[in-house]
């Protein structure tokens, strides 16, 4: 069993596990080389060979405990019929949402279109040491909605929260496809799943239960029923991490960098904690990197903890500094 699964399933505190969100990505020169030759990001995600190669790049370079499959949360709306484009220096652009088109999708067609992702997982699993975990992931329904409906800001979200019946109809259908996507990824060789609710922080407190907690709970319940270790990342919800943990009950919670680790240590019980450190610290001096990492390691030394960050690695990260951080955590 991998160290990651020992912590997630057995709540071991004497295990060290370290991986990073966006560890397969733009800060690595070997990734940038592939990306420069493959301008279409969606097409790159659906290239099983290249996707597998990219997933293994940080393992080959740093010998991390876990690989995470190179993919994107927006492949789900793309496969469900929305046009998605990734524009340099702008980010993802998703075309107009059509409810009838969305509701006309079917499960078999979804799996067929996603097959290159599952083949990438199979290829990666074959090349990955059996003692290492292979993490798959999904975007939570609320976060996907913010992209699908083009309302990724505090004001824009009010538009589609006016029609809660329609919003919940979309969420219900999304949950069906997301659970299928998780199951297919696990069947292909991944052994842990992370749910990214990256835009949960856009929700007002009184909407959190309906649009964040409840959808995440449904997916976590599915994972637990199928014995799939699950990590949740409801970024930006502050002290509501406490209620999220009580209601959703995931195996692990990734805290974001705005969460005080001491508060997390004292308040988030019966759950494995992951992450927290601000990715921007990796752009600072080695001394500041080590001091900040030690803060998290000291605070969480007596509870099950997975070393990660409070968000993904930024493109400006120096791989050599990351390597030194990994060595520091392993020697702690």
Q: How many domains does the chain divide into? A: 1
CATH code of the domain covering residue 319 = 3.20.20.210
Q: How far is CA 226 from its chain centroid?
A: 19
Which pLDDT band holds residue 149 (cuts at 50, 70, 90)?
confident
Distance CA 227, CA 217 (A): 15
Question: What is the structure's pLDDT at 60?
Answer: 98
* CA gap 170, 149 in Å, rounded: 11
User: Which residues contact residue 124 at a Cβ distance below 8 angstroms, ignoring those fewer than 6 apart?
Assistant: 52, 55, 56, 67, 69, 134, 189
In this predicted structure, the answer to whether residue 156 has a pLDDT above a threshold of 60 is: no
For the chain, give percent helix, strand, coil, nearest 5: 55, 10, 35
Q: Which residue has the tokens 């798959």?
A: 136
For residues 238 and 258, the answer to whether their CB atoms sit within 8 Å is yes
Calculate the CA 116 to chain-centre distance.
19
Cα 132 to chain centroid distance, Å, stands at: 18
Give the residue numbers spanning the domain of 112.
3-331
Average the pLDDT over 139-149 and give the result: 94
Model confidence, pTM: 0.96
Shortest CA distance to 152 belongs to which of 198, 188, 192, 112? 198
Task: Tell me: pLDDT of 158 over 80.
Answer: no
């Amino acid at each position: 069993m991998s160290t990651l699964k020992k912590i997630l399933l057995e709540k071991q505190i004497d295990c060290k596990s370290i991986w990073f969100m966006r560890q397969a990505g733009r800060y690595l020169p070997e990734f940038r080389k592939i990306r420069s030759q493959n301008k279409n990001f969606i097409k790159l995600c659906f290239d099983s060979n290249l996707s597998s190669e990219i997933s293994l790049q940080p393992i080959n370079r740093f010998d991390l405990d876990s690989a995470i499959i190179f993919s994107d949360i927006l492949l789900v709306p793309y496969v469900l019929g929305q046009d998605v484009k990734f524009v340099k220096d702008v980010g993802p652009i998703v075309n107009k949402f059509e409810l009838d088109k969305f509701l006309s999708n079917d499960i078999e067609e979804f799996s067929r279109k996603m097959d290159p992702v599952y083949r990438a997982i199979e290829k990666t699993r074959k090349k990955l040491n059996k003692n290492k975990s292979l993490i798959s992931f999904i975007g939570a329904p609320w976060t996907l909605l913010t992209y699908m409906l083009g309302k990724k800001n505090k004001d824009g979200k009010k538009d589609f929260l006016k029609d809660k019946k329609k919003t919940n109809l979309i969420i219900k259908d999304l949950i069906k496809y997301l659970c299928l996507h998780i199951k297919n990824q696990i069947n292909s060789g991944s052994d842990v799943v992370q749910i990214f609710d990256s835009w949960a922080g856009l929700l007002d407190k009184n909407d959190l239960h309906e649009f964040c907690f409840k959808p995440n709970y449904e997916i976590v319940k599915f994972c637990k029923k199928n014995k799939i270790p699950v990590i949740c990342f409801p970024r930006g919800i502050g002290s509501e991490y406490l209620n999220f943990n009580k209601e959703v009950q995931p195996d692990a919670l990734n805290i974001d960098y705005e969460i005080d680790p001491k508060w997390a240590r004292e308040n988030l019980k019966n759950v494995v904690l992951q992450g927290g450190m601000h990715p921007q610290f990796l752009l600072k001096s080695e001394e500041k990197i080590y001091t900040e990492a030690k803060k998290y390691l000291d605070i969480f030394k007596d509870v099950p903890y997975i070393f990660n960050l409070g968000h993904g690695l930024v493109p400006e990260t120096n791989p050599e500094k990351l390597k030194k951080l990994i060595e520091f955590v392993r020697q702690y």
